[in-house]
Chain A
Amino acid sequence: MAVGWVLHTGVLIDDWAVDGHYPLFGLRETLSFLAWALVAGYAIVLYHYRAQAVGAFAMPLVSILTFVALLTSQDPTATAAAFSTTWLFPIHTTLLVFAYAAFFIVFMASVMYLVQERELKLKTFSAFFHRLPSLSTVNEIATHSAAIGLTLLTLGLVAGMFWSWSLHGKMWRNDPKEIFAVLTWALYFGLAMYRSTANWRGRRAAWLGVLGFVLVLCTFLAAPLFGSYHVFGLALM
């Protein structure tokens, strides 16, 4: 895994050097970058919590992302010029991709929490049960990742607003993606507040973590589903 990640980092840097634009542009690069960010996030979780089981969820997704990225071909250079005018755009996208990765980790930890809580309450332990990290570990992972994700999301959205402002003079354009992003933000903000008012929030917070990720998916897929102008670089401006 470490080897793959280092190679991936190398390819991303190489891509940057060769194409002359930041390697986060268009669907293909976004997916690839997201996979890279997920592995980085997983490595941090592994290092801090020794929670290998997280990999059982993260690695298949990383494989799918990488695979889809490979299948998606495009020629981004055509539209890249429009976006490379300001440094705010890569900051906006990078922060958000990392926020997505953090929210995915919240989602995984929440699912693990819910599965185990249910098994503990019902007193029937599946074989998988013994391999999952403890309740307190997944609870902590969810809490910390949500806080990190929220910070990144806030900064990313602010960067996006300023970028939009510098380009069009408007911060807000009532775009479906923007609306979902704000909903997502509100939900995670609520989750962070909810978690911080008690020592432990357990099941409800875990459900919020799952719901939040559904919103993240809606935001991510807003363009194809609801017709947003945020089309991963193939801008309809």
Chain B
Amino acid sequence: MSIILIGVNHKTAPVEVRERLAFDDATCAAGLRNLVDGQVVREGLIVSTCNRVEILSATANDEIDLGAGRVTQFLDTSGNLPPGFLKDHLYRHTDEEAVRHLFRVASSLDSMVVGEPQVLGQVRHAYSLAVEAGTAGRILNRLVHHTFRVAKRVRNETGIAASAVSISYMAVELGKKIFHSLKGSTVMLIGAGEMAELSAKHLVNAGASRVLIANRTEAAARHLANEIGAATTVPFDQLDEHLHEADLVICSTGAPDYVLTEAHVRKAIRRRRKRPFCLIDISVPRNIDPSAGKVPNVFLFDIDDLEHVISSNIREREREAERAELIVQSEVMQFQQTLRLMDIGPSIGALREKFQDVARAEFAKQRKRLGPLTKEQEAAVESLLMSTVNKISHPLLNQMRRFSGASNADAASAQNDQFDLEE
């Protein structure tokens, strides 16, 4: 069996093309049933996200071109595009290259922001749709499960997703670095801007249980509180009274001067009994007096600090991505072995059966000459024949298995559970 991957992504096709090809859950299921005919395209799966539409399919070894043609045609019709229109946008990978591509996509190495965590969930969803539609078979099941394992390895063994690369997410990262977990923590937003809202949502997702919002115009604060959910508003002139309740403060007002002075912060940290305090000031001009950052246990970041950290995080991710590529490389090789084994497996089984059939046929031919036998005797003769045949063919079959590259434990166990060749 061969694996084919055909599709477009943000690097090869503009959004006008990608949006025409995109599938939702319903069209995806229908499309899969349409695409997988069981003859040429044996198995299929569609990954459709805002950055990519990719079709993964399995065909017989000698029908790669036929299968690829069918997939391309399928994309043309489902996108309602004239034939040949996609020629410059589509990429086509087969076998090893297709496996590598899928591993890289799921590990977020092919993403616009390398290391972003959503894509794995999207691949998982694509797989569950294919399972529901009944178009994920022996090959794709194995491949997709292997893919999940690779993505997990990359995530755990490299720092590809360890650091934040957006301002709104930096608050979560800093919070975690200081407080370990944001569960049960309190966040204060000073100013009700868009960036504050986005950060607050990330923080609530990460476990923050309380959000206080202080804004000069109360109505905007209330509106934002409704948007976020678990939020209460604080009158702007009572800001000082509530400051110490917050573990993390995000400041983004349009005020021309300092909203929080060093004195405010000192007072708050005293009231917090020295518990650390994280202040993030994303306003320009700055709203928190920079000298507040010198107070012990206070960690103050302004917009430039965040930008600086983010750009170093991006460089860090790129370095880690190189390590991730090595993991992908070794996993691709492992999967190729598994695949070869899956190809050779059935022929080993068939061969063994063939040998046994010959023995049974010979037994049937000579049966008369043995005269009457009891049931036990008959069974004994048959088992004698079978064990002789098996013992003789065993080295040969083993040889075949070895040639197919069954050297790793995973492949060996795959072969045992699937073909029951364990003796």
Interface string of A187-213 (1 = CB under 8 A from B): 000000000001111111000000000
Asked if B301 is at the interface (CB within 8 A of a chain A CB), the reply is yes
Say whether B293 contacts A125, CB under 8 Å.
no
Q: Which residue of A lies closest to B305 (CB)?
A: A123
Q: Which of A123, A133, A134 has the most chain B CB atoms closer than 10 A to its own CB?
A: A123
Provide the bound-state CA to CA distance between A198 and B319, in Å: 41
Interface size class of A (residues with CB under 8 A): 20 to 34
Contacts A201-B274, A203-B296 hold; do A127 and B159 have CB atoms under 8 A apart? yes
> Which of A121, A127, A134, A199 contacts B177, CB < 8 Å?
A134
Choose from A121, A131, A200 the contact partner of B299 (Cβ within 8 Å): A121
A130 x B159 contact (CB < 8 A): yes
Q: Which residue of A lies closest to B297 (CB)?
A: A202
Assembled-state Cα–Cα distance A65/B291 (Å): 46
Report whether B276 and A116 are in contact in the complex, using a CB–CB cutoff of 8 Å: no
Whether B276 lies near A135 (C-beta < 8 A) is yes
A residues less than 8 Å from B319 (CB atoms): 127
Give, as a whole number of angstroms, the nearest-CB distance from B203 to chain A: 15
Residues 137-168 of chain A, each 1 if its beta carbon lies under 8 Å from chain B, else 0: 10000000000000000000000000000000
User: In angstroms, how far is the closest chain A Cβ from the Cβ of B322?
Assistant: 13
The chain B residue with its CB closest to the CB of A116 is B177
Scan residues 174-220 of chain B and give those whose CB is less than 8 A from a CB of chain A.
174, 176-180
Which of B253-261, B308-316, B339-347, B381-389 lies at the interface with chain A? B308-316
CB neighbours (8 Å) of B293 from chain A are 121
A134 to B180, CA, bound (A): 5
Task: Tell me the bound Cα distance from A200 to B272 in angstroms.
Answer: 9
Q: Report the minimum CB–CB distance from A194 to chain B (whole Å).
A: 11
List chain A residues, Cβ under 8 A from B301: 123
Complex-state Cα separation, A42 to B187, whole angstroms: 34
Are A135 and B178 in contact (CB-based, < 8 A)?
A: yes
Q: Of the candidates B163, B178, B296, which one forms a contact with A136 in the assembled complex, judged by CB atoms under 8 Å apart? A: B178
B273 touches A198 (CB 8 A): yes
Q: Which residues of B contact A198 (CB under 8 A)?
A: 273-274
Residues of chain A with a CB closer than 8 A to B308's CB: 123-124
For chain B, the count of residues having a C-beta within 8 Å of the partner chain is: 26
How many pairs, one residue from A and one from B, have CB atoms within 8 Å of each other in the complex?
62
A200 with B276: in contact, given A120-B299, A123-B301, A123-B305 (CB under 8 Å)?
yes
Give 1 or 0 for each of B284-297: 1 = CB within 8 Å of chain A CB: 00000000010011
B175: nearest residue on chain A (CB-CB)? Answer: A134
Q: List chain A residues, Cβ under 8 A from B297.
A: 200, 202-203
Q: Does B13 lie at the interface of the complex (its beta carbon under 8 Å from any beta carbon of A)?
A: no
Q: Is the CB of A134 within 8 A of B178?
A: yes
A135 touches B272 (CB 8 A): no
| Alpha-carbon gap, A174 to B84, bound state (A) | 95
Residue of B nearest to A133 (CB): B180
Chain B residues contacting A123 (CB-CB under 8 Å) are 301, 305, 308-309
- The minimal Cβ–Cβ distance linking A34 to chain B, given in whole angstroms, is 29
Contact B316 A127 (CB under 8 A): yes
A110 to chain B, nearest CB (A): 15
Verify B163–A134 contact, CB threshold 8 A.
no
From known contacts A116-B177, A135-B178, infer whether A202 and B274 are also in contact, taking CB-CB under 8 Å: yes
Q: Which residues, 240 to 277 on B, are CB-close (under 8 Å) to A? A: 272-276
Verify if B162 is at the interface (C-beta below 8 Å from A).
yes
Residue of B159, B179, B273, B312 near A131 (CB, 8 A) is B159
CB-defined contacts of A131 to chain B, threshold 8 Å: 159, 162
**For residue B179, which residues in chain A have a CB less than 8 angstroms away from its CB?**
134-136
A125, B180: Cβ atoms closer than 8 Å: no
Question: How many whole Å from A118's CB to the nearest CB in chain B?
Answer: 11
Contacts of B163 in A (CB 8 A): 125, 130
Is A136 within 8 A of B159, CB to CB? no
Residues from chain B with a CB closer than 8 A to the CB of A116 are 177
A202–B272 CB distance below 8 A: no
Chain B: CB-nearest residue to A129: B177
A203 to B299, CA, bound (A): 13
B269: shortest Cβ distance to chain A, in Å? 10
Find chain B residues with CB under 8 A from A136 CB.
178-180, 276
Contacts of A120 in B (CB 8 A): 174, 177-178, 299
Within 8 A of A (CB), among B318-342: 319
Complex Cα gap A123–B302 (Å): 10
**Cα(A134)–Cα(B312), bound, Å:** 19
A211 to B276 Cα, complex, angstroms = 23
Collect the chain A residues with CB atoms within 8 Å of residue B276's CB: 135-136, 200, 202
Contact (A137, B180) CB under 8 Å given A199-B273, A203-B296: yes
Top 4 A-B residue pairs of the complex, sorted by shortest distance between their CB atoms? A134-B180, A199-B273, A123-B305, A130-B162
Q: Which residues of A contact B (CB under 8 A)?
A: 116, 120-121, 123-125, 127, 129-131, 133-137, 198-204
* 13 A-B pairs (CB sep. < 8 Å): A123-B301, A123-B309, A125-B313, A130-B159, A130-B316, A134-B176, A135-B179, A135-B276, A136-B178, A198-B274, A200-B273, A200-B274, A202-B276
